[in-house]
Amino acid sequence: MLPALNAHIPQEYRPPPPAAEHPPSISPDSIFSGAPEAKQTLIASSDPATHFKRMTMLPLLLKTLSLAMMEWPVMRTHINPTTEPSAKPTLTIRPSSDISIGLSTPTGLYTPTLVGLNNRSPYAIAGSLARLAYLGRQTPSGLTPAEMPKRGGTLTVSNVGAIGAGKWAVPRLVQGGGVAIVAIGRADWVVKPNGEKRLEVGVSWSADHRVVEGAELAAFVESWRSWTENPARLVGVGQ
């Protein structure tokens, strides 16, 4: 699937082509300035930080995760703060899938939030991830409250497989980190007893059991797995 996606990356997310080493002494624009149809127009992104060269599995996993969240509203909830210690906590269900991403940077660990991933294409998600990585590499950090809103995602993703060979982790849900956190391990090709070769990735979860019961979390993960293992379903949602 990735080769097909990489072959059709929209122009707005592609890096600009390298400049010619020996530019022509006469600009084609001086000849065809009155005939724009004779020139090839490249669509450039308004933000070069969103450019990327190839798709990875993470944008696809985030997309399918966001769709599973739409099927399970409990994963889109957050606990409302109370003003009185004796007040009973209440929950609010958000209308979209808001996911925070664990981002390791030279200045520390941040968890910027991607809002409304259920309405974004995998390409748009990849562009957003590229932009967050670019901002995080700046010293001091280029991340602003726009990327890290006070009310973050209801679910946090830690892509531990991107920094080593680890397949599993024990993620810890900190206060204010949403209702659940998932650590995504490194993907490996596995040969099944019937000879079938499949790409598998381990995921580890932790949830706030004041909100999410263990059975609900297990059923939600099954929904995520169904979306991920059947990517043709994305066609049905226009993504």
> Band of the pLDDT at 187, cuts 50, 70, 90?
confident
> Band of the pLDDT at 89, cuts 50, 70, 90?
confident
Distances (CA, A) of 10 to 48, 80, 104, 129: 13, 40, 28, 16
Residue 75 forms part of a structural domain: yes
Q: Which of 162, 163, 150, 80 is nearest to 115 (CA)?
A: 150
- For 111-157, write each residue's pLDDT tens digit: 999 999 999 999 999 999 999 999 999 999 999 999 999 889 999 99
Average pLDDT value for residue range 43-51 = 72
Total structural domains in the chain? 2
Decide: 189 and 222 in contact? Cβ < 8 Å.
no
- For 219-229, write each residue's pLDDT tens digit: 999 999 999 99
CATH of the domain at 136: 3.30.559.10
Residues 101 and 6 in one domain: no
Residue 44 forms part of a structural domain: no
Residue 43 forms part of a structural domain: no
Distances (CA, A) of 26 to 22, 23, 63, 168, 193: 11, 8, 47, 59, 64
CA gap 153, 176 in Å, rounded: 9
Residues 26 and 135 in one domain: no
Residues 64 and 12 in one domain: no
Residue 221 forms part of a structural domain: yes
pLDDT value at 168 more than 80? no
Residue 73 belongs to domain spanning? 49-236
Residues 105 and 220 in one domain: yes
Looking at residue 39, its pLDDT comes to 42
Residues 93 and 132 in one domain: yes
Residues 92 and 188 in one domain: yes
> Band of the pLDDT at 34, cuts 50, 70, 90?
low
> Band of the pLDDT at 101, cuts 50, 70, 90?
very high
Looking at residue 110, its pLDDT comes to 93
Residue 59 forms part of a structural domain: yes
Residues 215 and 178 in one domain: yes
pLDDT value at 77 more than 70? yes
Residues 26 and 62 in one domain: no
Q: Higher-confidence residue: 5 or 176?
A: 5
Residues 12 and 65 in one domain: no
Residues 71 and 182 in one domain: yes
> Band of the pLDDT at 28, cuts 50, 70, 90?
low
Looking at residue 30, its pLDDT comes to 56
Residues 181 and 219 in one domain: yes
Residue 64 forms part of a structural domain: yes
Residues 23 and 124 in one domain: no
